[in-house]
Structure 1
């Protein structure tokens, strides 16, 4: 096995370990947050009912579907921004 391929394998394994640790930490944080809300519902019933509602009926996505025209206008917006910034920067 070449050293480059071995390095890629090692980096991939490290990436997977970090990703697993991140997911576990995220789950633990979410669990602790929800436990705090559910353990003391009398302190803020509005938060409790809002949280339960969001868990049972998550909001639908507000993102529109991508179309070629939408993608092109998005691209043009950033192209124009970069061009404008380049015009503002003095050449040395």
Structure 2
């Protein structure tokens, strides 16, 4: 999978591809509307990439304080983008 269009098309599948890194698996579950499964993919991880996805998920949840904590752990600033735009930005970053 190399493009955003291919990633979005994969949302029609029942499971994410096994070759996807954990950050993309998390975003895949989020794209399917399964926030809890998306969160479970990155909740226990400490690396900056996972922290960035974790931050996005808490922003989507509406927990801005927790999101800002994870953005800080990822060395990112909460973006002034829609959630959809941030999701796409993250997918492109990790493809």
Q: One fold, TM greater than 0.5? A: no
**Structure number with higher helix proportion:** 1
How high is the TM-score relative to the length of structure 2? 0.23
Computing the radius of gyration from Cα coordinates, the structure with the larger value is 1
How high is the TM-score relative to the length of structure 1? 0.24
